[in-house]
Structure 1
Amino acid sequence: MRDFLPADKARRERVLAVIRERYRAHGFDEIETPVVEEYARLHAGIGGDNEKLSFSVLKRGLDAEAIRAAAEDPAALADLGLRYDLTVPLARFYATHRASLPSVFRAIQIAPVWRAERPQKGRYRQFVQCDIDIIGDATARAEAELMTASLDALDALGLEGGTIRVNDRRALDAMLDVFGFAPDERPGVLITIDKLDKIGASGVVAELRERGASAPAVDAFAAYLDRPQTDAAGFDSAGIRAALPDGIPDEIVDHLVALGETVAAARGGDVPLRFDPFLVRGMGYYTGTIFELAHASVDYSLGGGGRYDGMIGRFLGQDVPAVGFSIGFERIVDLLPDAESAGDHAVVLVHDRDVPLVDLVSLKTVLVGEGRRVRLEQRTKNLKALLERATADGYTAFATVGNATTRESLEIKPLG
């Protein structure tokens, strides 16, 4: 968990403002949910490994004896927890407010979440997530809208050229069925397959054998990995079929093809999608299309998401189609260069000690009324250090103020 100095905070807010503006331009509406949710909801078996990283809130009023008696049962000790993502709260929100929402609801959530991570570069215990979700639309249009809005936000931030890796959890399940993996061994198999880009095909096959996975299934999977490769035909039926073994249901491929065609229409013919039959994503609530946002400047994902049609039904009592996309804000903000405001809108007024306070405040009020950001600073012996500090804080111009200075005589000069 981190503190942010003024310049860092201003930089983060500038990035958030761009993301918000682009999301709203695509028809999404922002909501807000509490930072805590019920313990049982956060530990319902749908959050994957994130459930193990959640921060729980101790029940109020427990004495030492009660705590010792309940030590073996976390649910007896805690009734609330800090949210570890924004998807579980959204599902609860929709189930609670469905009657007040449109039949197809497009939501923005930009807020902090908490996970008990081991802190390291790019991983924090408190971080901001930027989510957009569409609830109530089971068609490929929903995924296409999410992808188009997310790529648009990336472009607006100066990170043009983003691509999205796409797969479908149903295709993964069908593929494991074709190879012959038993249902009870598939979760562990998927964990290993997810390491393909890190340990390579031979490493994945070796780990599957070490796990004791079905030997014939591992042999079939190894043969599939070793098959002759052909040049990808693109994100179309031929290209997707070429990347999959025989036996994958047509409706899965058709959904992916429709997704590619819709994104192409929205992007002026450009299809920045790449089909990856080994993309897994670890969240247990994904039921269909899954995706990750990539950029050539880095070797890690900048966001991702997927379809989670079964989650809302747990709270509402009936299934509702839903799909979401989360931009990795913390990773993106670290990639962007420091942005400065253009022109002389952020001004430091450096004044002499004897300038009347009334004159200073009046002059500042006039400049603020013109749309400028204004800071008053009394002149110091080391004027250079004062101006360098102002520059670091995001100010782009300065002016000196004496006893006779008026708005007409004020000379605003650029900093730096």
Structure 2
Amino acid sequence: MANPVNPPRGMRDFLPADKARREHALGIIRGVYRAHGFDEIETPVVEDWSRLHAGLGGDNEKLSFSILKRGITSEALAAAAEAGDVEQLADLGLRFDLTVPLTRYYATHRAELPPVFRAIQIAPVWRAERPQKGRYRQFVQADIDIIGEPGLLAEIELVTATSQALAELGLQGCVIRVNDRRILFGLLAHCGFAPETHDRALIIVDKLDKIGVPGVVEELRELDAEAAERMGAVLEGAAPALAGDGIPLTREAIAAVLPDGAAEQGVENLSALGEALAGALPAGVEVRFDPTLVRGMGYYTGTIFEVAHPGSGSSVGGGGRYDGMVGRFLGQDVPAVGFSIGFERVVDLIELPETEGPDAVALVHDADVPFGELLALKRELVDRGHRVRLERRQKNMKTLLARIEEQGFSRFANVRSGATSADELEFRVLGS
């Protein structure tokens, strides 16, 4: 039985100090993204059930939380359960990412938006994950997307903005791994996999870090034994470079680990991206080619990214180009590409300075000070730009002062009846 005093499993409460720290980090991310020309939007936390299960979200669709239709009866529940038809039960669901809502938003408001739309979305999403370290059922994503730009400039803007955000958060040692879905499909075709098996083959290749090359080859054999062996040879050939300093994002380095002539369009795209980013990234962030990078979402059509950090066992960000997704809602394809920072993982890796803000002072008052006098003093200090808290005097003043200092207050003043102006108060520095 669930403990009634704890939050739901896989979700968390945040104490004031934790909340302030998170908001400070989010403020850094927002500031960088706005400086790069992106505009923040907001979408509802719920979307139509059919939209969330339209085949765009990959495995995340299986993890979505559905909302039961209003007024549904127990008989209807039983009938739908027996039929295995969830859509009879639910017409809405909690969003499992921010990309599906964004594409619906763009289709709704296209006439009111610029031809090339640069969006920021920073908000919670929900997935029915099995809770564990770094995985929660409610978590924050920090996304930037560019819709309407078909060229490489969009990828360049996303990588440079995201890398600066990571650097300003103090996250050193990040590697942005890059691949192109066209390279992946080109490799599969080169190895001999039939087109109808490509999606299944990529799901298997995506398990590489868990089951290794032998495991991938073994599972690929079920699709095509000879093609599986050829793919295994490609993966084994790339392994030494990936295990070292990584594969530079240059035409020569990319070509060295790919079969001749495989996916030339994707190679050209990535080499141009690498050339544009050379010298443009902040210290502590590198970009590398990874031919094994898949990204599980089926909507990716071109460049894909993933951010690795030595302090995390999972990626701390990712994204890619999804040119066909907006068209599912609009009836007309629109180029789009996005990059998401996994905020929960990032915030656990960084050491943030004490949050900056207005001078925070506490007015420690006697019990007999009239409310009117207290409020007048507080209003005067607030008008001067201070953060002010009223605290009743306690017998154990040491405990009180330690607590308010821990909560971010820097000074305090004792208030007794008769004080008419804040200038009459003697403020003392906490901790001195």
Q: TM-score, normalised by structure 2?
A: 0.89
Tell me the equivalent position of 1:166: 178
Q: Is the 8 A contact 1:59 1:79 kept in 2?
A: yes
Offset of 1:324 from its aligned partner? 0.5
Offset of 1:285 from its aligned partner? 0.7
Q: Is the 8 A contact 1:114 1:127 kept in 2?
A: yes
Matches for 1:96-115 after TM superposition, within 5 Å: 96-115=108-127
Q: Indicate the larger mover: 2-11 or 394-403.
A: 394-403
| Cα distance, 1:196–1:69 mapped onto 2, change above 3 Å | closer
Q: Indicate the larger mover: 164-173 or 152-161.
A: 152-161
C-alpha distance in 2 between matches for 1:268 and 1:117: 34
Determine if the alignment matches structure 1 residue 200 to structure 2 residue 212. yes
Determine if the alignment matches structure 1 residue 317 to structure 2 residue 331. yes
Q: Is the 8 A contact 2:167 2:285 kept in 1?
A: no
Tell me the equivalent position of 1:362: 376
For structure 2, the 5+ residue unaligned runs are 1-10
C-alpha distance in 1 between matches for 2:384 and 2:139: 36
Tell me the equivalent position of 1:79: 91
The residue type paired with residue 52 of structure 2 is L
Q: Is the 8 A contact 2:129 2:135 kept in 1?
A: yes
C-alpha distance in 2 between matches for 1:233 and 1:121: 30
Matches for 1:227-266 after TM superposition, within 5 Å: 227=237, 234-264=248-278, 266=280
Offset of 1:271 from its aligned partner? 7.7
Q: Indicate the larger mover: 401-410 or 5-14.
A: 401-410
1:407 pairs, out of 407, 422, 426, with 422
How big is each residue's C-alpha offset from its partner over 1:109-146, in whole Å with a ceiling of 9 and x where there is no partner? 11111111111121111111111100011111101111
Tell me the equivalent position of 1:379: 393
Q: Indicate the larger mover: 406-415 or 297-306.
A: 406-415
Matches for 1:63-78 after TM superposition, within 5 Å: 63-71=73-81, 72=83, 73-78=85-90
How big is each residue's C-alpha offset from its partner over 1:166-213, in whole Å with a ceiling of 9 and x where there is no partner? 00111101001111122233333222222222333233323434xx13
Q: Is the 8 A contact 1:138 1:322 kept in 2?
A: yes
Q: Indicate the larger mover: 247-256 or 131-140.
A: 247-256
C-alpha distance in 2 between matches for 1:50 and 1:96: 24
How big is each residue's C-alpha offset from its partner over 1:42-68, in whole Å with a ceiling of 9 and x where there is no partner? 111111111111111222233233333
2:403 pairs, out of 381, 389, 395, with 389
Q: Is the 8 A contact 2:193 2:223 kept in 1?
A: yes
2:427 is paired with a residue of what secondary structure? coil
2:422 is paired with a residue of what secondary structure? coil
C-alpha distance in 2 between matches for 1:89 and 1:343: 33
For structure 1, the 5+ residue unaligned runs are none
How big is each residue's C-alpha offset from its partner over 1:190-241, in whole Å with a ceiling of 9 and x where there is no partner? 22222222333233323434xx131111111222234485686721111111
| Cα distance, 1:352–1:336 mapped onto 2, change above 3 Å | farther
Q: Is the 8 A contact 1:342 1:396 kept in 2?
A: no
C-alpha distance in 2 between matches for 1:22 and 1:76: 44
C-alpha distance in 2 between matches for 1:335 and 1:415: 28
Q: TM-score, normalised by structure 1?
A: 0.92
Matches for 1:105-144 after TM superposition, within 5 Å: 105-144=117-156
The residue type paired with residue 272 of structure 2 is A
Q: Is the 8 A contact 2:40 2:120 kept in 1?
A: yes
Q: How many residues align?
A: 414
2:233 is paired with a residue of what secondary structure? helix
How big is each residue's C-alpha offset from its partner over 1:238-297, in whole Å with a ceiling of 9 and x where there is no partner? 111112222223321121122122223643799821100000110111111111112333
Q: Is the 8 A contact 1:341 1:396 kept in 2?
A: no
Q: Is the 8 A contact 1:260 1:271 kept in 2?
A: no
C-alpha distance in 2 between matches for 1:214 and 1:14: 52
C-alpha distance in 2 between matches for 1:341 and 1:46: 39
